[in-house]
Amino acid sequence: MIILRVAPDGWQLPKWESGQFAVLGLPESAPRTMLSDADPDRANSDKLIRRAYSIASSPDERGYLEFYITLVQSGALTPRLFALKPGDRLALGSKISGMFTLDEVPEGQNLVLVGTGTGLAPYMSMLRSELQCHKDLHTVVLLGARHSWDLGYRGELIAMQRYCPTFHYIPVISRPNEELVKWSGQTGYVQDLWDRGLVEMAMGTRPRPDNTHVLLCGNPSMIEGMIAQLSAEGFVESTRKEPGQIHAEKYW
């Protein structure tokens, strides 16, 4: 995974909200990282490959956008993004969009932010800007990854937990046997954390549809699994027509 900072060259970033995404692009002729699969068919074309990426930086940061990106070895764009060096140029769409924002969450609610891998990116933006440390309202981050070294922004999240008693960071890894140093934290998937009652333990109260909103971001199977679990407890997925307590952003 990489953290990539992209600065506009000769134009200003528009106003945007935490949780939204921008579009990055590189031509097919751009080199691919050696860590990826070869893709000889595309190597000579100047056609732009574009993909959406959630912004991890705060909207108050006006000079650049920060992205948190994982390598898809067989992918079209990420192997090219991973081959970039500091100072290289790439395309950044001038439009920043998306509905996965805190506008959808009413005041006075606990928040559970559930992510897999780079699905943490929009939450970092929210935590770095809009989310305050409340006395009574809790914010819980549940983050799933394969290995401990895939748990991004760990130092920043642990520091937030240290300084805010109502902020809770609960990481979980699915391949503890591959750890170099024995992992003493949670193992399995983020869905298991909910079942184990860890959110209730952290908040000191049971998360219910009338006191908690849940955001889900990243891997579609995690999102579908969590929606099934939450629906069984009375939570409803928010749609354009019908507001609910579950807000989801699928990455593919």
The letter for the amino acid at 14 is: P
Tell me: does residue 252 bind ligand FAD (CB under 6 A). yes
For residues 100, 205, 226, 240, the Cα torsion angle rounded to the nearest 10 degrees is -40
Chosen residue from 18, 54, 186, 191 binding ligand FAD by CB under 6 A? 54
Two structure tokens written together for 177: 């046997």
Tell me: does residue 251 bind ligand FAD (CB under 6 A). yes
- Closer CB to ligand FAD, 17 or 249, in the complex: 249
- Closer CB to ligand FAD, 105 or 223, in the complex: 223
Chosen residue from 52, 83, 90, 227 binding ligand FAD by CB under 6 A? 52
- Angle subtended at Cα 152 by Cα 150 and Cα 158, rounded to the nearest 5 degrees: 120
Tell me: does residue 18 bind ligand FAD (CB under 6 A). no
**Segment contacting ligand FAD by CB under 6 A, of 57-65, 68-76, 186-194, 197-205:** 68-76
Q: How far is it, in rounded angstroms, from Cα 164 to Cα 132?
A: 9
Chosen residue from 17, 18, 57, 78 binding ligand FAD by CB under 6 A? 78
Tell me: does residue 144 bind ligand FAD (CB under 6 A). no
CB–CB of 167/195 below 8 Å?
no
Tell me: does residue 21 bind ligand FAD (CB under 6 A). yes
| Cα 153 off chain centre by | 11
Tell me: does residue 186 bind ligand FAD (CB under 6 A). no
Tokens 């003493």 belong to residue: 184
The CA R_g of the chain, rounded to the nearest whole Å, is 19
Q: Single out the residue of 182, 189, 178 nearest to residue 223, CA to CA.
A: 189
Chosen residue from 6, 26, 65, 77 binding ligand FAD by CB under 6 A? 77
> Which residue minimizes CB distance to ligand FAD?
75
CB–CB of 202/170 below 8 Å?
yes
Residues binding ligand FAD (CB under 6 A): 21, 51-54, 67-70, 72, 75-78, 98, 117-118, 121, 249, 251-252
